[in-house]
Structure 1
Amino acid sequence: MNTLLEVSGVSVTFDGFRAINNLSFQIGPAELRAIIGPNGAGKTTFMDIITGKTKPDEGRILWGDKGISLLGLNEARIAREGIGRKFQKPTVFEDQTVQENLLMALKNDRRAFAVMFWKPTTVDLGKVETLAGEIGLADQLPRKAGELSHGQKQWLEIGMLLAQEPRLLLVDEPAAGMTPSEREHTTDILVEAARTRAVVVVEHDMEFIRRLNCKVTVLHEGAVLAEGSLDHVTANQQVIDVYLGR
């Protein structure tokens, strides 16, 4: 398998607490992966390290075909390299329409002068229509983002990340607070996105993970405890003891 992201031997300690402990993790260029584990397992810290928010004490993180190190890069540069992150709470521009939110997110020249005089081209508008179709908001383009349901705001934010054409998408608990039908649609969006890029989903909802039908990595005390299909990891006695048995 080609590797898009390789994390090896990474550790990070906060005030004497080892949040990530000699963690190694790999994901391919078009792969869907779920990450599960009890609270405090290091799931958020893992994403913080990949996106440059937290610097590890040791280990290496290699990215892309050329295997460049992410460790010396700041958050903005890592985002430009093609790593997008969706936090649990959706952050969209509530006073702007769905169309305006997606247009602002498109991968365009971001220098101040270019932004000041930027006007969407027919190509940009076409991209936004396609994106809106992919996330199930094609009929919501003129609506203000603030009027959308919680689930629709989550889809819009995923769409805004996809507009930046990331090669890796990190998604934190996308199913939280959604109705069953919204969860189902979210599954479809993420599965579709993973056909052309890597998507890592951190989630607690086991039914949601089952529908993703992908490889699962279980974290515990900042290290990988088990890896494989959902059936494989949920049958693992250690996983049952530290996570599922609670």
Structure 2
Amino acid sequence: MSQLLEVNGISVTFDGFRAINNLSFNIGRAELRAIIGPNGAGKTTFMDIVTGKTKPDEGTVLWGEMSRNLIGMNEARIAQEGIGRKFQKPTVFEDQSVEDNLLMALRNNRRAFAVLFWKPTDADMNRVSELAAEIGLSNALGRKAGELSHGQKQWLEIGMLLAQEPKLLLVDEPAAGMTPEEREKTTDILVEAAKTRAVVVVEHDMEFVRRLNCKVTVLHEGSVLAEGSLDHVTANKQVIDVYLGR
């Protein structure tokens, strides 16, 4: 599998605390990956570095076929490169319909003036229908986003990111606060999305990670502690000592 993202020797220190310590690992082009680890392991900082929010003290983050270094690019430029990020709390336009939320996500390339006179094309409407089906909200297109359940808002935000056709989707604790049915649907959405792009999921819920059925990277004190299937990493004595035994 050719690599989409290569993290090489990344380190970053905040006020004397080394949050990331010589971190190196790769993500493939159409791969689903789970990242787990105790609080303070560096999971969020890793995502901050990849998306340009935090600049590391050393190391490189190589991206795409040309292996361009993302370090030094600003957040907007990195987003344009095809990296989408979903934070824990869903951020959707609550007063707008589900359909309008998805349409707004589609037109992220248009200039501000053009947006004022923008009318969706048939292709735009077809794409919105496809996205709504993918995220399980086909029957909710006319509803205001604010009326949706917590889980449905999470799906809508994932749909809005998918509307921008990212090559890499970073998702932070998607299962938090969801019902069992919502978690199952979320699994389906992420597994389907990873067929055509890389999806990296940071998660604490082991049952949810097991359902994803993907390669797992365990972080501890800012470095990779173990990597492999969930069964492989959860049988690792160090992983048990620093994470599972807690």
TM, length-normalised to structure 1:
0.99
Look up the match of 2:140: 140
Change (3 A) 1:149 1:15: same
- After superposition, give the CA deviation of every residue in 1:53-90 in whole Å (9 maximum; x if it has no partner): 00000000100001111012100000000000000000
Look up the match of 1:6: 6
Structure 2 letter corresponding to 1:61: V
Unaligned runs of 5+ in 2: none
Equivalent runs, 1:74-153 vs 2, <5 Å? 74-153=74-153
- Give the secondary structure class of the aligned counterpart of 1:38: coil
Q: Is the 8 A contact 1:20 1:222 kept in 2?
A: yes
- Give the secondary structure class of the aligned counterpart of 2:21: strand
Q: Distance in 2 between matches of 1:113 and 1:65?
A: 34
Q: Distance in 1 between matches of 2:230 and 2:109?
A: 41
User: Which contiguous aligned blocks of 4+ residues in structure 1 show a shift greater than 6 angstroms?
Assistant: none
Deviation at 1:110, TM superposition (A): 2.5
Look up the match of 2:35: 35
Report whether the alignment pairs 1:181 with 2:181: yes
Look up the match of 2:217: 217
Q: Distance in 2 between matches of 1:210 and 1:76?
A: 33
- Give the secondary structure class of the aligned counterpart of 1:171: strand
Calculate the aligned-residue CA RMSD, in Å: 0.7
Equivalent runs, 1:199-210 vs 2, <5 Å? 199-210=199-210
Look up the match of 1:227: 227
Look up the match of 2:242: 242
Q: Distance in 2 between matches of 1:33 and 1:237?
A: 21
Unaligned runs of 5+ in 1: none
- After superposition, give the CA deviation of every residue in 1:121-172 in whole Å (9 maximum; x if it has no partner): 1110110001000000000000000000000000000000000000000000
Q: Distance in 1 between matches of 2:58 and 2:107?
A: 33
User: Equivalent pairs: percent with the same residue?
Assistant: 83
Structure 2 letter corresponding to 1:167: K
Deviation at 1:118, TM superposition (A): 1.2
- After superposition, give the CA deviation of every residue in 1:182-202 in whole Å (9 maximum; x if it has no partner): 000000000000000000000
Q: Distance in 2 between matches of 1:122 and 1:97?
A: 18
- Give the secondary structure class of the aligned counterpart of 2:24: strand
Q: Distance in 2 between matches of 1:106 and 1:63?
A: 23
Q: Distance in 2 between matches of 1:16 and 1:239?
A: 25
- Give the secondary structure class of the aligned counterpart of 2:185: helix
Q: Distance in 2 between matches of 1:107 and 1:183?
A: 29
Q: Distance in 1 between matches of 2:20 and 2:73?
A: 20
Deviation at 1:25, TM superposition (A): 1.4
| Count of aligned residue pairs for this structure pair | 246
- Give the secondary structure class of the aligned counterpart of 1:4: strand
Q: Distance in 2 between matches of 1:117 and 1:186?
A: 35
Deviation at 1:108, TM superposition (A): 4.8
Equivalent runs, 1:162-181 vs 2, <5 Å? 162-181=162-181
- Give the secondary structure class of the aligned counterpart of 1:26: strand
TM, length-normalised to structure 2:
0.99
